Amino acid sequence: MAKQEIVDYLKTDMKKIIEDDIKACLLIGVPNSGYFSVPKLVLSCVDYIGALYCGWKTTEVFNSGRPNFTATWKAVRYLEDVLGQVFPECKVRGRLLWEIYRHGTVHLNERKALQNGARTISWYIFKGDWKERMIIGAVPTGIGSSVQMPVSHLILMPVAGLPNDWILPTCTTCLYEDLLASLDVYAGMIQKDPNLENNFRSAVDEMVKPDQTNITWP
């Protein structure tokens, strides 16, 4: 792919994929919907785009010999480097976002809580309206109840009554909107940095090759 083809793919084709596959899952205005599917789909896209952003080397293979394109460090780097330009908190909280909302939803069908020493951090997902990063939400307390208070996308909050417990609020709408916006940022970076262009091409050129298999058909 030439540079302009790469830019067109990110700004047109990849955006259409995200809009077609994820926007419908947001279900803005419909309570209690999209909370599970949107983080899973958005961060799965980040997994793929992170592989393009960081590129592929011939040493990155599974034991089977098949290419291994994706990795946590690649996805987190895209979250921090590129989505971090769209929303600065992503530069700071990208790794937490990935560990809590991607690893759990994709592999274990549930968002994960994390622990470091005495401290724990868990998920809190909400659905704002378009361009809305803060809502008044019911935040859990340490006494089994909740309190209405402001909740902001990717802004850490302590759990009242439990000084070592934290939550990472995440807005499904913001995840979607920021992912779309990041594609314009990424395309602009490729136009200025030949290394990013080469990374993209190294991954895609290998991705389009068929995998070898011992499965027979018809």
Q: Does the pLDDT of residue 143 top 80, yes or no?
A: no
Position with higher pLDDT, 105 vs 184: 184
The average pLDDT across 137-160 equals 90
Which of 88, 79, 84, 80 lies closest to 39, judged by CA?
Answer: 79
> The dihedral of CA 159, 165, 166, 167: what is its sign?
negative
Identify the band that residue 108 occupies on the pLDDT scale cut at 50, 70 and 90: low
pLDDT number for residue 109: 63
Predicted pLDDT of residue 105: 64
Domain assignments of the chain as residue spans, ordered by start: 3-113+172-207
Determine contact, residues 3/191, Cβ cutoff 8 Å.
yes
Q: For the chain, give the percent of residues with pLDDT over 70.
A: 96
Instruction: Give the integer Cα–Cα distance in Å for 19 and 28.
Output: 14
Looking at residue 187, its amino acid is A
The pTM assigned to this predicted structure is 0.93
Average pLDDT over residues 135-161: 90
